[in-house]
């Protein structure tokens, strides 16, 4: 029995942001004039996890992952967004080549790896067979969370499929996205895309909103589940401020 399944085990909580290299975070997280190459180290001194989004546009080389493993501090973990060639181009069809590339990079990331985020496009309707085939193709040691953008995936059968494969349903907060609090794996993955009711990635969560999320995260943690939560409302440094507040509410910073 794994530690997270033992009665009385309290899960770990990691709070961070989606991406780190934003010019408009100067004066919020980064000192003015800090070179871009030094931003990750500066970020890692403040937070213990980050979600890499650049990998969606261009999958990093194996030696880039190895470099992060060497340079990031002990205890820091990185979640990585799956490439759009797999999720939006092929829509998970015939995934073996991409799975091979992802597995090599994940191996190189070593003890700094957190969760592989698989974000499906809004026009990709429910296809249980294709999703199941893809999840089966991934090595079992890769933790994976799936973010669904088409409403047809919101179904008990899909949640059961994720549970069977040990994959986490990605819990979302954002304009036009369903906020479904379903924990389908030994860990919980949350993406906070901003509180604006009309536009994604905009606005800053109120202290009341963040206190509500702290309550939910505490419940999952008490249930023995590890929780990863990332703020994706980067504009104006909102993600940094919101992540800092949530960490404080949870006693993590």
pLDDT tens-digit series, residues 135-147: 999 999 999 999 9
Tell me what the mean pLDDT of segment 165-179 comes to. 96
Query: Under a CB-based contact definition with an 8 Å cutoff, are residues 137 and 158 in contact?
Result: no
Q: What is the pLDDT of residue 253?
A: 62
173 Cβ contact list (under 8 Å, min separation 6) = 179, 190, 191, 192, 193, 194, 195, 213
Q: Please check the confidence at residue 4 and state whether its pLDDT lies above 50.
A: no
Tell me what the mean pLDDT of segment 228-252 comes to. 96
Domain parsing of the chain, residue ranges: 13-250
Grade residue 51 by pLDDT with cuts at 50, 70 and 90.
very high
Q: What is the pLDDT of residue 7?
A: 46
Q: What is the pLDDT of residue 116?
A: 98
How large a percentage of the chain has pLDDT more than 70?
A: 96
Token pair in block for residue 169: 């349903």
Select from 203, 214, 215 the least CA-distant residue to 241.
Answer: 203
23 Cβ contact list (under 8 Å, min separation 6) = none
How large a percentage of the chain has pLDDT more than 90?
A: 95
Q: What is the pLDDT of residue 1?
A: 34
Tell me what the mean pLDDT of segment 209-217 comes to. 98
Output the CA torsion 56→130→187→201 (10° steps).
Answer: 40
Give bridge partners of residue 117 from the DSSP assignment.
81, 145
175 Cβ contact list (under 8 Å, min separation 6) = 193, 194, 196, 197, 198, 199, 200, 202
Q: Is 77 helix (H, G, I), strand (E, B) or coil?
A: strand
Query: Under a CB-based contact definition with an 8 Å cutoff, are residues 2 and 186 in contact?
Result: yes
For 90-115, how does the pLDDT look when each residue is reduced to its tens digit (9 = 90+)?
A: 999 999 999 999 999 999 999 999 99
Give bridge partners of residue 7 from the DSSP assignment.
none
Query: Rg (Cα) of the chain, in Å, rounded?
Result: 17
CA-based max dimension of the chain: 51
Select from 247, 240, 246 the least CA-distant residue to 30.
Answer: 240
Architecture of domain 13-250: Alpha-Beta Barrel (3.20)
Q: Please check the confidence at residue 5 and state whether its pLDDT lies above 90.
A: no
Give me the chain's average pLDDT, please: 95
Q: Please check the confidence at residue 127 and state whether its pLDDT lies above 80.
A: yes
Whose tokens are 């999952």? That residue is 220
Q: What is the pLDDT of residue 9?
A: 74
Token pair in block for residue 155: 């179904």
Output the CA torsion 119→251→241→37 (10° steps).
Answer: -70
Give bridge partners of residue 118 from the DSSP assignment.
146
């Amino acid at each position: 029995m794994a530690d997270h399944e033992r009665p009385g085990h309290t899960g770990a909580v990691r709070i961070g942001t989606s991406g780190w290299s934003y010019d408009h975070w100067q004066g919020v997280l980064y000192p003015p004039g800090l070179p871009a190459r030094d931003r990750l180290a500066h970020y890692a001194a403040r937070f213990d996890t980050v979600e890499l989004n650049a990998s969606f546009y261009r999958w990093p080389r194996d030696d880039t992952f190895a470099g992060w493993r060497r340079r990031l501090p002990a205890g820091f973990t990185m979640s990585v967004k799956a490439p759009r060639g797999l999720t939006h181009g092929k829509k998970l069809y015939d995934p073996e080549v991409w799975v091979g590339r992802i597995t090599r990079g994940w191996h190189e990331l070593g003890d700094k790896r957190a969760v592989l985020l698989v974000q499906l496009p809004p026009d990709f309707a429910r296809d249980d067979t294709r999703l199941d085939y893809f999840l089966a193709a991934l090595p079992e040691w890769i933790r994976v969370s799936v973010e669904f953008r088409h409403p047809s995936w919101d179904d008990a059968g899909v949640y059961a499929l994720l549970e069977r494969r040990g994959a986490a349903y990605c819990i979302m907060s954002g304009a036009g996205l369903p906020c479904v609090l379903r924990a389908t794996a030994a860990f919980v993955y949350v993406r906070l895309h901003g509180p604006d009711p009309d536009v994604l990635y905009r606005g800053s969560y109120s202290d009341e909103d963040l206190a509500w999320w702290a309550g939910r995260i505490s419940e999952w943690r008490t249930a023995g589940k590890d929780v990863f939560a990332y703020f994706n409302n980067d504009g104006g440094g909102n993600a940094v401020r919101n992540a800092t507040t949530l960490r404080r509410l949870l006693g993590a910073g």
